[in-house]
Amino acid sequence: MDKDYRPFHPAPRKPAFVPPAGAVDAHCHVFGPAARFPYARARKYTPCDAPARALFALRDHLGFSRNVIVQASCHGEDNAALLDALEQAGGKARGVAVAGAGVSDATLAAMHRAGVRALRFNFVRRLVDPAPPEVCLALAQRVAALGWHVVVYFEAADLAGLAPFLRSLPTNVVIDHMGRPDVTKGVDHPDFKAFLALMEDPRFYTKVSCPERLTATGPDYSDVVPFARLLVARFGGRVLWGTDWPHPNMKSHMPDDGALVDMIPRIAPETAQQRALLIDNPVRLYWPEEEHHGI
């Protein structure tokens, strides 16, 4: 398969915004290196290699303390690269894995010990062939017993069909990238209002991330700001933020991760909002033992 990617930014700028101590990049990936962790045969794209050491160097450069590493579709159900990154992180990362119906309880338990705290269900058809909702529901019921939650990725046009399934899940649910709204329609469009209605359920969280994927006008992503800012203002205790590094499948441009960090005060202008977005909310989901002990 030919490679289908833009390489990640080689020298992101140092952001002007300084994240608070303990800040979490709650959505990022590791890819390969392919010589050690081959990509899935059934993948629909081939990314550039983006190993753990490069991710952790970016974390330090941007001023973050921890990562939540999300298994992406190009590695399929083989979580080896993710688990290796968690081992290298020394407790400074947690994981979101992908698994199928055949995954054993022993494998799930081993992933939990390694630092995985969620399963991801991807319903974006251009990236994957989605599993049936009943299969996802059965998996969610199994991982709920481990205290995990579910991360879901879908596009705005699919929300109406997915909403009954999403509401049936027995765990907290984290929605990637604001449900991928069509930002040209505005925050008052019925499509985004349907997403806001879903978010009224206190089990739902969302990542106010990926302006580079959602924008219709390009950097400086001003057309995305009203959506993220509204979610932060209305659901400040259930929003997360992440870089999405290394930005797989980007066709239009490759974002500067420093510029993405500088989006944070535009969508979360108050210090308390920033702390909730970057520390309190991700810790509650991924390091709950710290919240419970008041660390």
Catalytic residues: 244
Burial label for 77, CB within 10 Å (0-12, 13-18, 19+), is: middle
- Residue holding tokens 């974002």? 255
Radius of gyration of the chain (CA): 18
One DSSP character per residue, 105-132 reads: HHHHHHHHHHTEEEEEEE--TTT--PPP
Q: How many CB atoms lie within 10 A of CB 239?
A: 28
Cβ neighbours of residue 111 under 8 Å, at least 6 residues apart?
Answer: 79, 83, 95, 97
Instruction: Name the nearest CA neighbour of 71 among 41, 98, 93, 37.
Output: 98
Phi-psi group of 152: left, alpha or beta (phi > 0 → left; psi -120 to 50 → alpha; rest → beta): beta
| DSSP conformation class of 11 | S
What distance lies between CA 272 and its chain's CA centroid? 22
**DSSP assignment letter at 276:** I
Which uninterrupted H or E stretch holds 153?
strand 149-153
**Residue 28 to residues 1, 126, 207, 244, 251, Cα–Cα distance (Å):** 24, 20, 12, 4, 18
DSSP count for the chain of H helices, then E strands: 13, 8
